[in-house]
Structure 1
Amino acid sequence: MNEGHPIKAVLIAGPTASGKSALALELALSARGVVINADSMQVYRDLRIITARPTQDEEARVSHRLYGHVDAAVNFSAGAWVTDAAKILQEAEAEGRLPIFIGGTGLYFKALTAGLSVVPPIPAEIREDVRARLERNGVEALHAELAHRDPSSAERLNLRDRTRIARALEVVEATGRSLLDWHHEGQPPLLPKDSFRAVFLAPDREELYARIDARFDAMLGAGALDEVERLAARGLDPLLPAMKAHGVPALIRHLRGELSLEEAAKIGRADTRHYAKRQFTWFRHQLPDFVWVRPEEATDWLGAAVNAAREPG
């Protein structure tokens, strides 16, 4: 990336519990920035504690956008996030503020910097019918149906991946085309190459895993179980993204009497550690424009990058 270009935004990515929120807050305070959420679970208003959203005090110090603005009953998509992000970018530019995107959802960052495929909205009746068949017949039957109607998509999907199999089948039923076909036709990126500075926080793995475990326990102490109980009481579709946030399924099983709290917490901690591992792999292979730095070096790196990019000539 050419460091001499003026920048339109700063992107701060990294695995969960790597210190992104503190870094974004520090940069926003020093550079008159607005912090924009790029985490697919922190968009849900029902999940403040269990997703470790910024605190109300942090949100009061600088402008935070796209946090908790979606109801858990909504199957919020990357396309919907891009639409919202485009509006925030325009507002930030009009106000002379530096947009600071922060999160761990690789697809959001890829959509921001490389564009996104555009799949038409799926009619509710088709989505409901596919999910009813999934519950009635099982994931193997749905995968077999997908293999018949869209063999290319079926071949790429894990036989147990309920959500993606259902999604691929919904798309082919609604549009008559493979999801892979739609992926070849998409929106241009909101941030063209050389218009942003992007950093990926890469802490030591063992240190990160210890922080993840400690944070999960802290979230339980802060009321995460009560938050999940309120969510479970809504009786929402278990396939909705909010219902699969890390820790939520296991804590719901605890509330049903199927697991002890310690067993549920153990599962939640392990799921979060596994997710962090996948984040390292995904960003390394999918987003080469992100510069990897250790968290303790990120402040200096971002400060130098932003200052260099803002200097004329």
Structure 2
Amino acid sequence: MPNPAKPRLALIAGPTASGKSALAIELAEEIGGTVINADASQVYRDLRVLSARPSPADEARVPHRLFGYVDGAETCSAARWAADAAAEVRRVHAAGGVPVLVGGTGLYLRTLLDGIAPVPEIDADVRAAVRALAVADAYAALSREDPAAAARLNARDTTRVARALEVVRSTGRPLAAWQAARAGGIGDTLDVHGLVLLPDRDMLTARCDARLARMFDEGGVEEVATLLARADVPGDAPVRRAIGVPEIAAMLSGMLSRDDALASAQSATRRYAKRQYTWFRNQLPEEWQCCTAPNLQLYFQKVG
């Protein structure tokens, strides 16, 4: 039963292509909710197709917030998104509604609910030196300077390896120590009902592959061409690193054939879905419903 002492928050999460967005809309229709995006790629207005944002028809069914609200020339950090999401949650509650948070970016969800690590500003010279390293060299350095972080991270995860290395070099403390001092989360103030979709892995892989093929056929290539034509979006902008963008960019430059670009993007998506699957299976509160096929009526009753 809902906790009457705290305002409700419904949360539907899971790997890419798990069907969470459709379920979030269905739930919002059932309980008079507002869908709030928690996906790091779907914040960018430049990537409706490649980020699998809800269609205009879906967005017309129930209120949607924080989808496509950031220009590709900007960087949307977890801290920025969490502040924006907290404000949207408060607005929905003030209007008497129920926020329905949906997405697959675990860092976003943890930052909103648990707070953010108070890491000081990274020294610019340290950041530049770390970002100039090849990922293999950065991982080797991290293994020496913060072996616990290296053991947690995938050696090919360029962004997270660089972040952990620059933090320990700039602050003298490992990232895990800063994360233990998180502050600012809103999870304790809410009655959170979490539902995590973890479909059969083979089915998830097939969905990822089929969806990438549709993206290539239904506007993804043109979307990237438009993005690349923008002089104000730097080559290292987060939007340029979203899955599908580098692969299509290589295709448009003649470095890859269309078939090879699609295969590469499909492979990247499968790897991403696998990481998400592992994260959601191992990093969740025990009271959240985690399932292959959810009991929707039971979940709707709990939230409503």
Question: Quick one: which amino acid aligns to residue 224 of structure 1?
Answer: G
RMSD between aligned alpha carbons? 2.7
1:304 aligns with 2:301: yes
Aligned mates of 1:250, 1:301 — CA distance in 2: 42
Question: Quick one: which amino acid aligns to residue 282 of structure 2?
Answer: H
- Structure 1 residue 234: Cα displacement: 3.5
Asked if the contact 2:2/2:8 (under 8 Å) is kept, the reply is no
1:254 aligns with 2:248: no
Runs of 4+ deviating beyond 6 Å:
none
- Structure 1 residue 209: Cα displacement: 2.1
Gaps of 5+ in 1: 308-313
Asked if the contact 2:8/2:303 (under 8 Å) is kept, the reply is no
Aligned mates of 1:152, 1:278 — CA distance in 2: 19
Asked if the contact 1:38/1:105 (under 8 Å) is kept, the reply is yes
SS at match of 1:71: coil
Asked if the contact 1:113/1:193 (under 8 Å) is kept, the reply is no
Question: Quick one: which amino acid aligns to residue 306 of structure 1?
Answer: V
Q: Which residue of 2 aligns with 1:118?
A: 118
Aligned mates of 1:112, 1:163 — CA distance in 2: 20
Asked if the contact 1:201/1:298 (under 8 Å) is kept, the reply is no
Cα shift readout 1:143-172 (whole Å, capped 9, x = no counterpart): 566567656545655554432333234434
Q: Tell me which moved more, 110-119 or 87-96.
A: 110-119
Aligned mates of 1:87, 1:51 — CA distance in 2: 23
TM-score by length of 2: 0.86
The one of 282, 285, 292 equivalent to 2:282 is 285
Cα shift readout 1:122-160 (whole Å, capped 9, x = no counterpart): 4667645643x33xxx34554566567656545655554
Question: Quick one: which amino acid aligns to residue 227 of structure 2?
Answer: L
Aligned length: 300
Gaps of 5+ in 2: none
Aligned mates of 2:35, 2:8 — CA distance in 1: 13
Taking every aligned residue pair, what percent have the same amino acid on both sides? 45
Q: Which residue of 1 aligns with 2:50?
A: 50
1:37-186 matched pairs, under 5 angstroms: 37-122=37-122, 127-128=127-128, 130-131=130-131, 133-134=132-133, 138-143=134-139, 153=149, 157-172=153-168, 174-186=170-182
The one of 208, 212, 216 equivalent to 2:208 is 212
SS at match of 2:99: strand
1:273 aligns with 2:276: no
1:190 aligns with 2:186: yes
Cα shift readout 1:93-138 (whole Å, capped 9, x = no counterpart): 111110000011122222333333232344667645643x33xxx3
Asked if the contact 1:8/1:191 (under 8 Å) is kept, the reply is no
